[in-house]
């Protein structure tokens, strides 16, 4: 595993050991109607507000703090994170790890003192996204940026309830440092990530990374930390808007009871040990899509549909969201020659 990826500390929404008071949650049957919350940056006149302050104010009513009761079998506690309102009638998106294993999930809107109960409609641990629903009306939905519009060097603003501190969400700024990153987590690999140097801390999980127009360009999910062998400074990751919007539709289908077949290519990979880019084809299943596309053992896979591939988990992540019947483009190096092949995926065999 590469040095940088070895220092990714998993997810940033840690569980905090807090006493849980279930009596503070509003009843699930009571319809919540959102009121206008106080601006994140107080005592700032619109005419004098910085762009960052304007973005923070624009998104203030579309961001919630999330509290999840968790029990790992050894101790009970409360995991905290952030969520983004996606529809006015109560849909909220967050990281799957924020609500994983939760017996109850509560959300609290900016300016409110009491939380309300949320239902987890669907979760996708592989993509680290979950869809929640609250019994609510007239919510202020966030605006998502157009897929493909994010550029390296764009200014970025991370907003979320860092460290579960009292008061409104924290606001930090930086730039988009890189695109289409892949990192490895306990649930596999996350791909198509935005790398940013905007400060991200525990509790920011599930919150928005926004552009200077106040549009959500990603959902904050992980941060890299150094160890005795490597250093990592100001390296955070957000699931890109391209991925978020695609997975959101899949989560809605999952919530509606639709079973989805994943695409399948039929290869295994091994990492390169010579310092080069990409991963080496270790096996090709006979009569698989890879075999029919003339992919061969020893080929070096560089990318799938433009997504860089690093290790077997990286390949799984690259094709995870494709469907049977989809045709993908694979960039290879074979005996020093670079080429591109197309493979039509089939349904993943049942194990």
Could you list the pLDDT tens digit for every one of the 351 residues in the chain?
Answer: 333 433 344 455 433 322 222 223 344 455 665 544 433 333 445 555 689 999 998 999 999 999 999 876 676 778 889 999 999 999 999 999 999 989 999 999 988 888 999 999 999 998 999 999 999 889 999 999 999 999 999 999 999 988 766 667 889 999 999 998 888 877 778 888 999 999 988 888 999 999 999 999 999 998 877 666 665 678 899 999 999 999 999 999 999 988 778 889 999 888 888 888 888 999 999 999 999 999 999 999 999 988 888 777 778 788 877 889 999 999 999 999 999 999 999 988 876
Distance (Å, whole) CA 313 – CA 315: 5
Decide which of 2.40.10.120, 3.40.1000.10, 3.40.50.2000, 2.40.50.1070 is the CATH code for 1-257. Answer: 2.40.10.120
Residue 23 sits at the vertex; the CA angle it makes with 17 and 29, to the nearest 5 degrees, is 120
209-225 exposure pattern, b = at least 16 Cβ within 10 A, e = fewer: bbbeebbbbbbbbbbbe
Positions of CATH 2.40.10.120 in the chain = 1-257
User: Which positions are catalytic?
Assistant: 97, 128, 205
Whole-model pTM: value is: 0.80
Positions of CATH 2.30.42.10 in the chain = 263-347
Contact indicator for 281, 269 with CB cutoff of 8 Å: yes
Where is 315: in which H helix or E strand?
Answer: helix 311-319
Superfamily (CATH) of domain 263-347: PDZ domain (2.30.42.10)
Contact indicator for 177, 186 with CB cutoff of 8 Å: no
Contact indicator for 155, 214 with CB cutoff of 8 Å: no
């Amino acid at each position: 595993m590469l040095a940088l990826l070895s220092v990714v500390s998993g997810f940033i929404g840690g569980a905090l050991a807090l006493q849980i008071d279930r009596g503070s949650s509003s009843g699930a049957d009571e319809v919540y109607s959102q009121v206008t919350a106080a601006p994140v940056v107080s005592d700032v006149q619109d005419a004098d507000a910085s762009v960052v302050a304007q973005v923070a104010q624009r998104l203030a009513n579309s961001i919630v703090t999330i509290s999840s009761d968790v029990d790992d079998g050894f101790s009970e506690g409360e995991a905290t994170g952030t969520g983004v309102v996606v529809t006015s009638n109560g849909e909220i998106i967050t990281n799957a790890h924020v609500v994983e294993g939760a017996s109850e999930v509560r959300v609290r809107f900016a300016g409110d003192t009491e939380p309300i109960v949320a239902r987890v409609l669907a979760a996708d641990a592989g993509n680290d996204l979950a869809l929640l629903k609250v019994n609510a009306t007239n919510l202020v939905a966030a605006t998502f940026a157009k897929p493909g519009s994010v550029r390296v060097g764009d200014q970025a603003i991370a907003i979320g309830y860092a460290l579960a501190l009292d008061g409104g969400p924290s606001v930090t700024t930086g730039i988009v440092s890189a695109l289409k990153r892949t990192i490895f987590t306990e649930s596999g690999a996350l791909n198509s990530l935005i790398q940013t140097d905007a400060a991200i801390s525990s509790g920011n999980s599930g919150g928005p990374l926004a552009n200077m127009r106040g549009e959500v360009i990603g959902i904050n999910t992980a941060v890299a930390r150094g160890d005795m062998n490597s250093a990592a400074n100001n390296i955070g990751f957000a699931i890109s808007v391209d991925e978020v919007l695609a997975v959101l539709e899949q989560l809605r289908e999952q919530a509606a009871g639709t079973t989805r077949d994943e695409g399948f290519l039929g290869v295994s990979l091994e990492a390169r040990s010579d310092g080069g880019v990409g991963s080496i084809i270790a096996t090709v299943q006979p009569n698989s899509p890879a075999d029919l596309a003339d992919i061969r053992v020893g080929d070096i896979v560089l990318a799938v549909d433009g997504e860089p591939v690093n290790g077997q988990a990286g390949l799984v992540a690259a094709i995870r969201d494709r469907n049977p019947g989809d045709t993908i483009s694979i960039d290879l190096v074979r005996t020093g020659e670079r080429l591109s092949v197309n493979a039509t995926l089939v349904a993943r065999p049942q194990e």
